[in-house]
Amino acid sequence: MLNLWYKNAVIYCVDVDAFYDQDGDGVGDFKGLTDRLDHIEALGANCIWLLPFYPSPNKDNGYDISDYFGVDSRLGTLGDFVEFAHAARDRGLKVIVDLVVNHSSIDHPWFQASRAGHPKYKDWYVWQKERPADHAKGVIFPGVQETTWTFDRKRQEYYFHRFYEHQADLNIANPEVREEIDRIMGFWLALGVSGFRIDAVPFLIEDLADSETGASPYDYLGRMRQFLDWRQAKAILLAEANIPMEEAGDYFGDGDRLNLIFNFPLNQRLFLALARRDGAPVREFLEALPEIPATSQWATFLRNHDEIDLGRLSDEERQEAFAAFGPEKSMQIYDRGIRRRLAPMLGGDERRIEMAMSLMLSLPGTPVIWYGDEIGMGDNLDLPERMAVRTPMQWSTEPNGGFSTAAAEDCVRQPVSEGPFAYAHVNAESQRVDPTSMFSVTQRLIRARRSAPEIGWGSCRVIDLGETSVIALLAEWRGGRVLTLHNLSEEPVTIDCGETVAGAPVRPLLQSGIDIDRTDGACRIRLGPYGYEWLRVAAGN
């Protein structure tokens, strides 16, 4: 159990350049993040996931990396990173960092050497003399990206890029490239990180199948995990892998490949359920969730740094979600997603926002929270593409929301200064002292989640209580039972959990003053509009 800390963790995702600017240049930095660790600790999260902070031309929010062994000078130095990692460890916070090795920036010295035909680096990228006829197939950003093959005038060949043309795909089939990836992981492990969130895993391994040897592309995930176990047994691999459930076994292996995988299909069903105010899409999905190894785990989330990807919904279902949460074209992206934050999507209704946060925390898996969602931050749709949800953290009512002392126009992205989600109305400072605020509610929810290891470690059973708007989940582990109830409707409902608890005493985990009617062997509970309850069910007599 000691090496499985992630099973009952709460992960908080941070974009360093948008969190807190200590030196006043308009860009968040590691000194600023270190200064604000108390906020994350007070919230109750126990792991921080950092978006890319490496040297980069920053054409894709740092995902176009030009040096895997450094820190973007705007954010500080390697020394600042080490000080941050040390300060986090002192607070009991683990740190995981983005491992973006499917591609690099074309500004990376490796690519520049490859295009020049350098003997060592010639085959570090994917080159081809002729552009395939289907060169537009498989683009990741439709409407923005036109092809996956771009001609390089210096080498006189085409290079492959699954993403933007300024992000050339590394040739993972080259053993020298894989050895370099080991060195990258080893470097950051030595500086104190507890693992990696691996970017674009299906694309990372897509060219590793070997028909001659029978090697599976998934074997490489096992080799990455083996390297981690050698260097630091407690380190983890969290995968960005938007995969169908039938492929989960390939990625988890026998518990010897990836530790965690983001459950993108569940996220899509969750937003469909919220749109319909009907729990059926989530209930049906969870009932069909495949069994995974005991040491493996799903990662659950509401929002992340990208769009809400609805690509696995049917066309009709996707339109339902668009109509509910992104009815305007400016709110949609890539013909498949929504580029808004949670709070504005749910109309600023704090009851509904809190219920959605509670539901996410109760789902089987490890919860991941996007910075700012704990205070109900809004978005800025004037920013391009996915940048809309990456606005500066709102700390106070001071200029720029207390993010920076620089002029607003000099900030890395414009703070939200107008409308109901402006920093004058939504900020951490005022919410920390308000027991009814979104921050305080999220704090209590995280406390409940971390006190309920049954959810992270145990089995999850969907309970049918006869109300389609209600999602009732019973988590069980080592004799402990936790029942969570969520009403997705704006109408109050009364449900009877008598058959589920079978006469056993129940105790609210959230101390909400819930009224429970236990007459006639029943266990009747009234859930208000968007109401929710967490109950610990004692062992029966």
**What CA–CA distance (Å, rounded) separates 35 from 395?**
12
**What CA–CA distance (Å, rounded) separates 383 from 341?**
13
Of residues 240, 309, 373, 374, which has the active-site annotation?
240
Query: Tokens at residue 53, please?
Result: 């902070």
Distance of CA 213 to the CA centre of its chain: 36
**What CA–CA distance (Å, rounded) separates 285 from 513?**
31
> Which class for 70: exposed (0-12), middle (13-18), buried (19 or more C-beta within 10 A)?
middle
Strands 195-198 and 157-160 come out as: unpaired
Distance of CA 294 to the CA centre of its chain: 22
Reply yes or no on whether 199 is catalytic: yes
Strand residues in 177-296 grouped as ranges (E): 195-198, 236-239, 260-262
Reply yes or no on whether 520 is catalytic: no
Q: How many Cα atoms occupy the beta-carbon half-sphere of 145 within 13 Å?
A: 25
**What CA–CA distance (Å, rounded) separates 420 from 426?**
8
> Which class for 5: exposed (0-12), middle (13-18), buried (19 or more C-beta within 10 A)?
middle
Closest CA to 295 of 229, 346, 357, 348: 229
User: Which ranges of 382-535 does DSSP label H, i.e. alpha helix?
Assistant: 428-432, 438-450, 453-457, 498-501
Closest CA to 350 of 437, 424, 427: 437
Of residues 80, 199, 307, 533, which has the active-site annotation?
199
Query: Tokens at residue 365, please?
Result: 């898996």
H/E stretch holding 293 reads: none
Query: Tokens at residue 172, please?
Result: 């993972």
Is 408 within 8 Å of 452 (Cβ atoms)? no
Q: Give the residue numbers annotated as catalytic, written as ranges.
A: 199, 240
